[in-house]
């Protein structure tokens, strides 16, 4: 009897080992070198400047990924339910203004008052003032746009937006969070920056090679576009005009967290939302693709997870940190975007059932 039990245990161990070593998974991890982690010191020293956040109702929706304001000051938020929720300028009266039929993420207004939407399931959309949804593009250079993520409209009307992954589509791989984890775990750098020209209705690749191409922001002088390379903890500058046109370079130093969206603020600032602190295990396994593949076969509950830590920063034109606001307790967690007005910072989140708004005076921001 004891021998039979031992044989059974041995068989179970063999099956478990075989599963961990050979069970097929979607990712083919690539070895890379994680940059040094600056940690929460220096310009990122821990503070509580983000604790003064107010919350605005967005009705029975959640996950206000990004925020945009129209010419009258009304507030628009892209939510997990595939809705664009509109609030009055004072933050009251949430209404379900438009439904995209997908998962809207980054949003921005164009010069004609249309809301341009990077929809992770559908591609690049335009929503007219009366709420009519139009598909602008869902492919670029012969490849389908699998994960439209963030968007910014340039002064000349061209629309720059990110396709976070050409390997793991948000719709095909179980949702935006699930697909992002696949791309970051694989680190094959399949993300790309795209541009759509309304005049020609053509879409082209501006730059590629991002390990989850996320936030997009066009510089005020229109010379470059900033792209958050989430899986590599950095912001990349892609030149679109001038003597460096076509070149890309690191803009920020290594960040202590995963950057999500980026936006152009006031006084030459670029605001970056940091969705979760870096995980030491993920960094340690950067050069061990085989082990990362084994980790992918383990139950989701045993894999690294996002940590609820509130954190946004502002960078100047040279990539220097000029504002750092944190809430270590994660009172308004998983920050995805920042939209700056004269009086407020509107802060998006992947999971909250409300929209965050921080009075700048309360945080000591001029």
Tens digit of pLDDT for each residue in 273-320? Answer: 999 999 999 999 999 999 999 999 989 888 888 899 999 999 999 999
- pLDDT (tens digit, 9 = 90+) per residue, 106-154? 999 999 999 999 999 999 999 999 999 999 999 999 999 999 999 999 9
The pLDDT of residue 153 is 98
- 86-99 tens-digit pLDDT: 999 999 999 999 99
* Sheet containing strand 95-99, strands side by side: 67-69, 75-78, 83-87, 95-99
What pLDDT digit, counting tens, does each position of 220-271 carry? 999 999 999 999 999 999 999 999 999 999 999 999 999 999 999 999 999 9
With a cut of 90, say whether residue 353 has pLDDT above it.
Answer: yes
Confidence at residue 141, expressed as pLDDT on a 0 to 100 scale: 96
Q: Please report the pLDDT score of residue 21 as a whole number.
A: 66
d(CA 101, CA 80): 11
The full set of domain ranges for the chain reads 36-363
Query: What does the alpha-carbon distance between residue 302 and residue 214 come to, in Å, rounded to a whole number?
Result: 26
Residue 219: what pLDDT? 98
pLDDT of residue 301: 84
Strand pairing category for 67-69 and 75-78: antiparallel
Res. 366: pLDDT tops 90:
no
Per-residue b or e along 326-346, where b marks 16 or more CB atoms closer than 10 Å to that residue's CB: bbbebbbbbbbbbbbbeebbb
What kind and span of H or E run contains 115? strand 115-119
Q: What is the pLDDT of residues 5-48, one digit of tens each?
A: 776 777 777 776 666 666 788 999 999 999 999 999 999 999 99
- Residue 13's pLDDT is 73
State the DSSP string of 184-206: HHH----EEEEEEETTTTEEEEE
Q: Tell me: the pLDDT tens digits for 145-197?
A: 999 999 999 999 999 999 999 999 999 999 999 999 999 999 999 999 999 99
Per the model's pLDDT, the better-predicted residue between 24 and 325 turns out to be: 325
- Coil, helix or strand at residue 23: coil
Rounded Cα distance between 301 and 212, Å, is: 22
Per DSSP, the three-state class of 259 is strand
Mean pLDDT of the chain: 95
* Nearest CA among 70, 77, 180, 195 for reference residue 120: 180
What fold does the segment set 36-363 form as a domain?
Neuraminidase (2.120.10)
Cβ–Cβ contacts within 10 Å for residue 290, how many? Answer: 11
Look up residue 335 and give its two tokens: 């920050």
Distance CA 158, CA 152 (A): 9
The residues, any chain, with a CB within 8 Å of residue 223's CB and separated by 6 or more, are 239, 240, 241, 242
- DSSP code at position 74: -
Query: Do the Cβ atoms of 131 and 117 come closer than 8 Å?
Result: no
Q: Which of 114, 99, 104 is nearest to 198 (CA)?
A: 114
Residues 217/130/77/66 CA torsion (nearest 10 deg)? -20
State the sign of the Cα–Cα–Cα–Cα dihedral 291, 296, 301, 305.
positive
Give CA separation, 356 vs 82, 112, 216, 314, 345, in Å.
19, 27, 21, 17, 8
Which tens digit of pLDDT belongs to each residue from 47-86?
Answer: 999 999 999 999 999 999 999 999 999 999 999 999 999 9
**Tokens standing for 295?**
């980790």
Distance CA 333, CA 64 (A): 12
Residue 246 to residue 293: CA distance in whole angstroms: 34
**Torsion of the alpha carbons at 69, 73, 79 and 84, rounded to the nearest 10:** -90
The answer to whether the CB of 269 falls within 8 A of the CB of 345 is no
pLDDT at 11: 75
């Amino acid at each position: 009897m004891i021998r039979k039990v031992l044989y059974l245990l041995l068989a179970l161990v063999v099956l478990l080992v075989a599963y961990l070593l050979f069970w097929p998974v979607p990712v083919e991890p690539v070895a890379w070198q994680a940059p040094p982690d600056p940690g929460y010191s220096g310009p990122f020293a821990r503070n509580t400047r983000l604790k003064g956040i107010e919350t605005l109702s967005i009705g029975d929706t959640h996950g206000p990924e990004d925020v945009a304001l129209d010419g009258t000051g009304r507030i628009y938020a892209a939510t997990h339910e595939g809705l664009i929720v509109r609030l009055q300028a004072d933050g009251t009266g949430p209404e379900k203004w438009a439904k995209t039929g997908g998962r809207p993420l980054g949003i921005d207004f164009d010069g004609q008052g249309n809301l341009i939407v990077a929809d992770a399931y559908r591609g690049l959309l335009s929503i007219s003032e009366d709420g009519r949804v139009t598909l602008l593009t869902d492919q670029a250079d012969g490849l389908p746009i699998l994960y439209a993520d963030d968007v910014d409209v340039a002064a000349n009307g061209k629309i720059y937006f990110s396709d976070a992954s050409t390997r793991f589509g948000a719709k095909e791989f179980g949702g935006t969070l699930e697909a992002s984890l696949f791309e970051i775990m694989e680190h094959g750098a399949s993300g790309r920056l795209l541009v759509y020209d309304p005049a020609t209705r053509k879409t082209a690749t501006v730059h590629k090679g991002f390990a989850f191409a996320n936030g997009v922001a066009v510089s005020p002088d229109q010379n470059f576009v900033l792209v958050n390379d989430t899986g590599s903890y950095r912001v990349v500058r892609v030149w679109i005009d001038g003597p460096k046109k076509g070149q890309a370079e690191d803009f920020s130093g290594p960040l202590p967290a995963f950057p999500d969206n980026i936006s152009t603020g006031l006084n030459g600032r670029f605001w970056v939302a940091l969705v979760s602190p870096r995980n030491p295990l993920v960094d340690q396994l950067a050069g061990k693709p085989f082990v990362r593949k084994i980790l992918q076969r383990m139950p989701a509950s045993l894999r690294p997870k996002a940590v609820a830590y509130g954190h946004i920063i502002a960078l100047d034109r040279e990539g220097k940190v000029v504002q750092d606001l944190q809430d270590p307790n994660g009172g308004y967690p998983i920050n995805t975007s920042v939209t700056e007005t004269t009086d407020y910072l509107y802060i998006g989140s992947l999971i909250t059932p409300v929209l965050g708004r921080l009075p700048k005076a309360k945080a000591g921001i001029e």
